[in-house]
Amino acid sequence: GMTAQFDTDIITLPRFLLESQRTQTHSTGEFTLLLNSLGFAFKFISQTIRKAELVHFSGLAGTNNTTGDAQKKLDVLGDEIFINAMKSSGNVKVLVSEEQEDLIIFPTSQGTYAVCCDPIDGSSNLDAGVSVGTIVSIFRLKPGSTGSIQDVLRGGTEMVGACYAMYGASTHLLLTTGNGVDGFTLDNNIGEFILVYPELRLPPHNPIYSINEGNSYYWKEEVKSFIEKLKLPQANGKPFSARYVGSMVADMHRTFMYGGLFAYPGDRKSSSGKLRLLYEAFPMSFLVEQAGGIAVNDRGERILDLKPEHIHDKSSIWLGSKEDVGMYLQHIGKSL
């Protein structure tokens, strides 16, 4: 009958969070509320991006962020939306944003979490209507802490959660709390993220590489020779394909869906590449490992074992399918 085409028992993000709170002993109500507030921030940013062009919000804001990039009006808006959502959740004490030079401590918050975020990652793509995203890592405050920089200058293995939202043709959300990865898609009509990829696994192999090859002049020899190797016929007689959006979230979302490898290596201009540990490399690496993939730096060290000294520290990064990142490790003489 007609009803067979309709799923009348969908799992929304709030339902998913409440159900996992009931079944996972380590889950607290506070953590559930924090994740709900993140869901709200993603929906708000998603809608803002989608209507921005029509209300003439594209173009430069006339200010610069900490790394000197030209900051777009949407970067400012995304940052404000994110900060306000975290502040009003009441569960966040410490916040690090790519768009803020210093960490923020919410003075009146009784919250016990520290959140690091890149509110609109890939913003150079915004004016062309290409996918961008928000990336988030979550730490619990250290025991006894009332909020300090030490709550975020920690090893990646201390994260208690990570997620990203990708604002593409649809808005997607990938979330881990250390129990695998679950994927949601935003239903704009009912305004909820719907669970569509439960227990998502990264395909173990797909011959796709994703890297800004325009930097190859500056690359180290072993990066150059590795990428050249991928262009030669492989075991199946065909070389790898190249795919590069230039938005980490979009390049990684494709990698989660199809497999392959994404890299932003260090080079002669910047030995630790471009991507920031706390709100780009850490959360993405947590998600990748939880989905069965590998996340390492140029030297083949596990990203999650690194520890930032400063909140905006960078790291070279190789992320993706076990076999494909495994090929890089083998190339530099490291085993899995």
In the complex, the residues that contact ligand AHM under the rule CB under 6 A are 69, 98, 118, 121-123, 212, 246-248, 264, 274
Between 212 and 330, name the residue whose CB sits nearer to ligand AHM.
212
Radius of gyration of the chain (CA): 20
Report the alpha-carbon distance of residue 231 to residue 262 in Å, rounded. 15
Tell me whether residue 209 or residue 264 sits nearer to Mg ion (CB atom). Answer: 264
Query: Residue 14 touches which of ligand AHM, Mg ion, none (CB < 5 to 8 A by kind)?
Result: none
Distance CA(69)–CA(51), nearest Å, equals 23
CB of 164 to Mg ion, least distance (A): 11
Q: Residue 172 contacts by C-beta under 8 Å, 6 or more apart in sequence?
A: 165, 166, 183, 184, 185, 186, 253
171 binds, among Mg ion, ligand AHM, none (CB under 5 to 8 A by kind): none
CB of 121 to Mg ion, least distance (A): 4
Shortest distance, position 269 Cβ to Mg ion, whole Å: 18
Instruction: Indicate left, alpha or beta for 133 from its phi (over 0: left) and psi (-120 to 50: alpha).
Output: beta
91 contact, one of Mg ion, ligand AHM, none, CB 5-8 Å limit per kind: none
Q: Name which of 195 and 211 has its Cβ closer to ligand AHM.
A: 211
By beta-carbon proximity to ligand AHM, the closer residue of 93 and 274 is 274
- Contact partner at residue 123 from Mg ion, ligand AHM, none, CB < 5 to 8 Å by partner kind: ligand AHM
Distance CA 256, CA 197 (A): 11
What would the two tokens of residue 274 be? 């471009």
> To the nearest whole angstrom, how small is the minimum distance from the Cβ of residue 134 to ligand AHM?
11
Place of tokens 């949407």: 74
Torsion of CA 320, 114, 42, 212, to 10 degrees: -30
Least distance CB 98 / ligand AHM (angstroms): 6
Return d(Cα 151, Cα 142) in angstroms, integer. Answer: 6
Q: Smaller CB distance to ligand AHM: residue 88 or 270? A: 270
Give the number of residues written for the chain: 336
What are the start-end ranges of the H helices in 246-315? 248-258, 282-290
Interaction partner, residue 212 (ligand AHM, Mg ion, none; CB < 5-8 Å by kind): ligand AHM
Q: Which residues bind Mg ion (CB under 5 A)?
A: 118, 121
Q: Which is nearer to ligand AHM, 91 or 247 (CB)?
A: 247
How far does Cα 71 stand from its chain's mean position? 20
Least Å distance between CB 27 and ligand AHM?
Answer: 30
Buried b (16+ CB within 10 A) or exposed e, 190-200: eebbbbbbeeb
The option from ligand AHM, Mg ion, none interacting with 246 (CB < 5 to 8 A, set by class) reads: ligand AHM
Nearer to Mg ion, 121 or 151 (CB): 121
247 binds, among ligand AHM, Mg ion, none (CB under 5 to 8 A by kind): ligand AHM
